[in-house]
Chain A
Amino acid sequence: MAKPKLEKHHINNDWCKGCGICVALCPKKVLELDDHEKVSALRPQDCICCKLCELRCPDLAIEVETKE
C-alpha cells in the first residue's frame, strides 16, 4: 500500500481553542499556534500524515486530508 500523501490540513478556527496539544505532540513539528491562538500548519511539507493531531484534537477541529 502506498504511503498516503498530504492534500491539506483543514483547520476549523471556530472550533479550535488553541490548547496546543497538536502542536506539542506532532512528531514532525508541522503545526504552530498563530497570533490568535489558533493552530495553523506552518510546515506542511514535513507532514507524514500520521493524523495524530486529528485523532487527539479535543476540539475536533483538525482534519488531515490525504490522497493515496
Chain B
Amino acid sequence: MALKAYLRERFFPHLWCPGCGHGTVLNGLLQAIEKMGLSRNEIVMVSGIGCSSRITGYVDFHTLHTIHGRALAFATGVKMARPELNLIVPMGDGDALAIGGNHFIHAARRNIDITAIVMNNRIYGMTGGQFSPLSGEDVRATTAPYLTIDPGFDVVELSKAAGATFVARTTTFHIKQMADIIQQAILHEGFSVVEIFSQCPTYFGRKNKAGDAVDMIAYYKENTTPIGSKAKKENPNLIERGIFVQNEKPEYCNQYEQLVQKAMKGR
C-alpha cells in the first residue's frame, strides 16, 4: 500500500478504539494526499488536543500537536510565515468549535489557505464522553445524564456565515466522497472546512444506544443524502452532504503580499 509511505508505521496499531471513525478519516485523508502526489515535506499538519488530534503523530509530515482549541492559531502562524506550505488542520468537534470556536471563525473570516477538517463524533472522547457543542439536543453523555438541552452548531452554516470559501460535509461511510472532498479542499485556495461525521462507538454509541461501529456507520448511510437530492425534498430530516460552498475570494497570504508591496512603495 503506497499510503504507508505517508505513515509513521512504528506507532501502529494506533491508539483509537476499535471502530473509531477517526482511523477512517486518516485513511481517506491519505488517499487524497496520495492521489494528489504531494511531497511529505510540503505538508504541515497541525492539531489540538483530543482523540482526533492524535492524528498528527501517525503521519510523516511536519507535525505540530498543540494545545486544546488553538490548532488554527498555530497553523495561521506557520502559513503566514511560509505560504507555500500546505496546512492541514484536523480537529475534533469540541476542539474546533467549543474551546476553539473563536479561532475557527476568525480563520474563516480571513480566508487564509488552511484546510480545516472537523472530525465530528458529537462527543469528547479523550476525557470520557462529555457532550460537545455538536452533540445537539436530547443526547446522553457523561455530563448529560438527563439528556442535553444545548442546541448544537451546524458546522456548515457556521462556516458559511464566518466566511469560509470552501465548505463541505461527508461521513466515514462515504469514503470515496471523503477522499474526493478532502482533495478539493486542499486544492482550494482559501479557508476550507470539511466536516466529517465520524463514529465514536465507545462513548457516543454506547451512551445513546446507537449500536456498534457498524450500526453507527450504517446510520450515516441512511440519514444523509447528497445536497439537493430528491430524497431531501421528501424527507427534510435527512442531512445533506457534499460541497456547499466553493467560492473564489482573495486569500489572506496573497492579500498580505499586496499590502507589503504597498508599504514598500510608500516607504
User: Contacts A20-B212, A21-B217, A24-B214 known; A59 to B13 CB distance under 8 Å?
Assistant: yes
Partner of A55, one of B4, B19, B27, B214: B27
Chain B residue with Cβ nearest A13: B13
On chain A, the residues within 8 Å of B17 by CB distance are 17
In angstroms, Cα B157 to Cα A13, docked, is 42
| CB interface residues, A 24-46, toward B, < 8 Å | 24-25
Q: Which of A14, A15, A20, A58 contacts B24 (CB 8 A)?
A: A58
| Shortest CB distance B10–A (Å) | 12
Which residue from B27, B175, B212 sits with its C-beta under 8 Å from A60? B27
B12 interface neighbour in A10, A14, A21, A54, Cβ under 8 Å? A14
- Chain A hits for B12, CB < 8 A: 14-15, 59-60
Task: Tell me whether B169 is interfacial, beta carbon within 8 Å.
Answer: no
A residues within 8 A CB of B214? 19-21, 24-25
A33 to B: closest C-beta gap in Å: 11
Min C-beta distance of A37 to chain B, whole Å: 8
- Tell me if A5 is interfacial: C-beta within 8 Å of chain B: no
Q: Flag whether B210 is at the interface (Cβ < 8 A).
A: no
Contact A17 B19 (CB under 8 A): yes
Cross-chain contact A55 with B175 (CB below 8 angstroms): yes
Are A55 and B28 CB-contacts (below 8 A) given A20-B213, A60-B3, A63-B1?
A: yes
Of residues B3, B20, B23, which shows the largest number of chain A Cβ atoms within 10 Å of its Cβ? Answer: B23
Q: Are B217 and A20 in contact (CB under 8 A)?
A: no
Cα A25 to Cα B1 with chains together (Å): 21
- Please count how many residues in chain B sit with their CB below 8 Å of the partner chain's CB atoms: 31
Does residue A57 face the partner (Cβ distance < 8 Å to B)? yes
Q: Is B24 in contact with A56, judged by CB distance below 8 angstroms? A: yes
Q: Is the CB of B172 within 8 A of A56?
A: yes
Q: A19-B213, A60-B27 are in contact. Are A55 and B179 (CB under 8 A)?
A: yes
A52 touches B175 (CB 8 A): yes
Residues of A within 8 A of B28 (CB): 55
* Nearest opposing residue in chain A for B221, CB measure: A25
CB distance from A39 to the nearest CB of B (A): 11
Contact code string B3-26 (vs A, CB < 8 Å = 1, else 0): 110010000111011111111101
Q: Chain A interface (Cβ within 8 Å of chain B)?
A: 10, 14-21, 24-25, 52, 54-61, 63
Identify the B interface with A (CB < 8 A). Answer: 1, 3-4, 7, 12-14, 16-24, 26-28, 31, 172-173, 175-176, 179, 201, 212-214, 217-218
Return 15 A-B CB contacts under 8 Å, by A number. A10-B1, A17-B17, A19-B18, A25-B217, A54-B1, A55-B176, A56-B173, A56-B217, A57-B27, A58-B21, A58-B26, A59-B12, A59-B13, A59-B23, A60-B27
Beyond the given A17-B13, A58-B16, could you list 11 further A-B residue pairs with CB under 8 A, ordered by the A residue number? A10-B1, A15-B13, A17-B19, A19-B201, A19-B214, A20-B214, A21-B19, A55-B27, A59-B13, A60-B7, A60-B26
